[in-house]
A and B are shown apart, each in its own frame.
Chain A
Amino acid sequence: MEELILELKKKIIQALNLEEMSPDDIDTDDALFGEGLGLDSIDALELIVLMEKDYGIKLANPAEGKAIFKSVRTIAEYVSQNRKK
């Protein structure tokens, strides 16, 4: 799981152009949206693309992704259970 968490952090930084950040700057349990990392609705849509592209997981809309995209840990848990690649 720790390996997947690190991999996800790297992918998120790259996909969302969080240029000046390193995986160490992202707390695994912090909120990704709103207060925490401050991601927005377009970032949520890019995360949907990332999930499909890299893990074969299809999400219909951001509403469906809301619980999954809470933190890096929740994403990692969902990916490990549902990944198709």
Chain B
Amino acid sequence: MVYRIADNVLTPLGATTEENYEALKSGRSALSSYASYSGRKEDDYIASRFSDEQKKKLMVKGLTWFESLIYHSVKTALSGCDIDLASSRTLFVVSTTKTNIDQLSSPDYDKIQPAASAKRIAELLGICTQPIVVCNACISGVAAIITAQRMLNAGSYDTAIVVGCDVISHFVVSGFQSLKAMSPEPCRPFDIERLGLNLGEAAATLILGCQTKTDTGWQIVNGALRNDAYHISSPSPKGEGCASAIQYVTKGVDLQTLSAVNVHGTATMYNDQMESKAIAASGLSEIPMNTLKGYFGHTLGASGILETIITMHSVAHGELLGTKGFSEIGVSGRVNISAQPMPISKQSFVKVISGFGGCNAAVYCALNAPSPSQQYTANTYSVEHHVRITSPSDLTEIYKQQIGNYPKFYKMDKLCQLGFIASELLLKQENPRKEQCADRAVVLFNHSSSVWVDREYERTIEVGEDYFPSPSLFVYTLPNIVCGEIALRNGYHSETSFYILNTKDEELMHNVLASTFNDQSLQSIIAGWLDYKDEGNFEADFKLITKK
């Protein structure tokens, strides 16, 4: 069983979970107005940011701002815990969307890319194992908790330190602005007059462990990831993927025993509407529901972890925090939401989250729950088909010669084109080719994240006469979009996950894949390595694996 050992939330509202919780209880929000990076008044934005004074205090010599936040959050969470950091059975999982993207133009950027950055922090903390970076757009935080829970259940580790973080940067702010997703005022989740989201910077740490001695404390009971296979940046209007994730984690749970649902609630038109539909379709309309975006903004990679931790504390205190910014209901699915705190008495909740690439996730957590009867069983798989493409190869030529008839190929960034081609060539070997199903996942790994398209997008935000941030390039700066493209092409309504590792570590990838089959609905996975650094350095090494 996987239990919470300790946690930390580090935001502009406080350096500990307790400080943050007290701030929320008194109704404080970290959202405030900031001048634009572009120098144009119309690009001014609302966000939750650390003050210069806080930043000065938190910066660690030799680390970037992103790394400093993670370092402080993990250190604080660890204080008072007795954890053998140097053990080969201690896992470090980092959840982030854009890591050190604010340093993209630095000549040393290679050294601070996601996996390298995670490794540096791990070493500084004294953790010896290879870190896993979960990069699944906005659902990364919940996805990281689920990955850790599965890896612990599989018996490969005793303890997992799961930390999520993202920082505010010109790159991310301009990107969300190009998508017309940013609210010009503090966000109003689920409200009839909601205008979009606000971004926030934060770090949050959840330390998890396998405990056999005692069954008290918060238990991460079950988690699921589901893709809409609808569109790479818009959620399915009915929220099928979101509903499917909720329904998987609440299967067998008496819904009357749920204290609360903490949703994503970004305050964009589409997200909140879709979530309301998914909540109603899952029979959770009566359960007290809230979202924390009105306090912290959308903290991207930190969000899923931060919000899970705050909800644990909230449920333990018997009070669900009010949804700040909400006033009049503006969604069509029935939900139990209030701007005021709601008293709650039971001891379990569901955390829900959705993101670009069509991905959704849910995790079910329970306090002092009896051990579930279903025990973890070790999973093995067999490799059915295999394909490998490396540089130098002309991707467009391969597409034209061997695939064709999918004009969307030309809209994709290089990472997606490479992944799309590899998946098509892999599936050509399958007879009959499986389409429209809910039992096949797409799980990919790489080293270079989305660096090629990151640089392409960066060119569109050079401040000057020609300042036109490109929405289509920005969407592809999330590497997990390729999993969404493959799910969309084939109608796979199941898990899609993207991980960043320091090296093509076959053993670590094998462990992640084997534990992915812990999702009982899965029968097969399109799995593999997918790295695109530049046109002279790329590799796709895909396998179709099936559960034994």
Contacts and interface: CB of A to CB of B under 8 A. Distances in A.
A49 B234 contact: no
The CB with the most chain A CB atoms within 10 A, among B179, B180, B231, is that of: B180
B407 A49 contact: no
11 contacts: A19-B407, A19-B410, A20-B410, A21-B407, A40-B234, A42-B232, A45-B178, A46-B470, A46-B472, A48-B180, A49-B178
A18 interface: yes
Interface string A61-82: 1100000000000000000000
B5 to A, nearest CB: 42
Contacts of A60: 180
Contacts of B469: 49
Range class of the A interface residue count? 10 to 19
Given A40-B231, A61-B180, A62-B180, A45 B471 contact: yes
Contact of B410 (A18, A40, A61): A18
Contacts of B231: 40-41
Kindly list the 8 A-B residue pairs having the minimum CB-CB distance in the complex, ordered from nearest: A19-B410, A45-B471, A17-B410, A17-B411, A61-B180, A42-B472, A53-B468, A49-B468
Interface string B473-503: 0010000000000000000000000000000
A41 B234 contact: yes
B512 to A, nearest CB: 30
Contacts of A17: 410-411
Contacts of A19: 407, 410
Instruction: Tell me the interface secondary structure of chain B in the complex.
Output: loop
A29 interface: no
A52 interface: yes
Interface of B: 178-180, 231-234, 407, 410-411, 466, 468-472, 475
B354 to A, nearest CB: 16
A60 B195 CA distance: 12
Contacts of B179: 45
A41 B233 contact: yes
Contact of B407 (A20, A45, A61): A20
A43 B411 CA distance: 10
A75 to B, nearest CB: 18
Given A40-B231, A52-B468, A53-B468, A45 B410 contact: no
Contacts of B472: 42-43, 45-46
A46 B410 contact: no
A60 B184 CA distance: 12
B410 A49 contact: no
Contacts of B407: 18-21
Nearest to B233: A42
A78 B410 CA distance: 28
Nearest to B178: A45
B470 A49 contact: yes
Given A42-B472, A45-B472, A53-B468, 6 more contacts: A45-B471, A49-B468, A49-B469, A52-B468, A60-B180, A61-B180
B211 to A, nearest CB: 46
A42 B468 contact: no
Contact of B180 (A16, A21, A45, A52): A45
B463 to A, nearest CB: 15
A16 B411 contact: yes
A52 B465 CA distance: 12
The CB with the most chain A CB atoms within 10 A, among B233, B466, B472, is that of: B472
Nearest to A43: B472
A46 B233 CA distance: 14
A63 B232 CA distance: 19
B411 A49 contact: no
Contacts of A43: 472
Contacts of A21: 407
B420 to A, nearest CB: 14
Nearest to B396: A19
Contacts of B471: 42, 45-46, 49
Interface string A27-56: 000000000000011110110110011000
A48 B179 CA distance: 10
A27 to B, nearest CB: 17
Nearest to B469: A49
A48 B411 CA distance: 17
A55 to B, nearest CB: 12
Contacts of B234: 40-41
B410 A42 contact: no
